[in-house]
């Protein structure tokens, strides 16, 4: 017989190697357990992601606001160059464009050179009141 054909027959013979009925019963039980574990894992993962989304998004926005406040109050270039409520208003509008849902309001006291900015994110419910000296 052609060696190629014999090799094919031998490889096909391997199909006789099969699990018996008892193995399938064990297989089903183990698969069921894995499915349940995967289901629980997936649901925990989804919940964590939702929670993270709720907590981190407003937090990030607040961090952005704080960062902006630090830049505005401490960096000389900003203090020197943007010395007035108008420039502050422009910066807040830019921030609002970058941070989804951020709402801010500017209160200015022209005579003492202090600006108050109230910021909040409707979904997160956080609020921040910042005072800037010019």
Partner 1 sequence: MVDCLAVAHRRGVAEAGQEDGDAELVAAVQSGRMAAFDILVRRHRPRVVGVLYHLTGNREDAADLCQEAFVRALCHIHDFRGRSKFYTWLYRIAVNLALEQMRRRRLRSFYSLEQLASGAESDGVVLALASQLKTDKALLIKELQQQLNGALQELSPKHRTVVVLAEVEGLSMEEIGQVLGCSTGTVRSRLHYGKERLRSLLGRYLQS
Sites of contact with partner 1 (CB under 8 A): 1, 3-4, 6-20, 23-24, 26-27, 30-31, 34-35, 38, 42
Q: How far apart are CA 89 and CA 86, in angstroms?
A: 5
The nearest distance, CB 4 to partner 1, in angstroms, is 7
Give the nearest distance from C-beta 20 to partner 1 in angstroms: 6
Nearer to partner 1, 37 or 54 (CB): 37
Pair 58, 125: CB distance under 8 Å: yes
Q: Which is nearer to partner 1, 16 or 125 (by Cβ)?
A: 16
* Shortest Å distance, C-beta 6 to partner 1: 5
Name 57's Cβ contacts closer than 8 Å, sequence gap at least 6: 100, 101, 121, 123, 124
How far apart are CB 90 and partner 1 at their closest, in Å? 45
**Cα separation, 88 vs 105, whole angstroms:** 10
Q: Judged by CB, which is closer to partner 1: 26, or 53?
A: 26
Contacts of 3 (CB under 8 A, 6+ apart): none
- For the four alpha carbons of 61, 64, 70 and 71, in that order, the dihedral sign comes to negative
Nearer to partner 1, 31 or 118 (CB): 31
């Amino acid at each position: 017989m052609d060696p190629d054909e014999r090799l094919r027959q031998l490889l096909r013979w391997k199909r006789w190697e099969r699990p018996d009925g008892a193995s399938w019963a064990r297989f089903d039980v183990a698969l069921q357990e894995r499915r349940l574990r995967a289901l629980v894992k997936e649901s925990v993962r989804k919940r964590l992601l939702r929670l993270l989304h709720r907590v981190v998004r407003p937090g990030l926005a607040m961090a952005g606001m704080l960062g902006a406040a630090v830049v505005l109050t401490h960096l000389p270039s900003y203090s020197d160059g943007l010395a007035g409520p108008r420039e502050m208003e422009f910066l807040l509008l830019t921030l609002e464009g970058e941070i989804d849902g951020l709402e801010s309001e500017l209160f200015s006291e022209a005579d003492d050179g202090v600006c108050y900015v109230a910021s909040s994110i409707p979904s997160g419910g956080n609020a921040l009141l910042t005072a800037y000296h010019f």
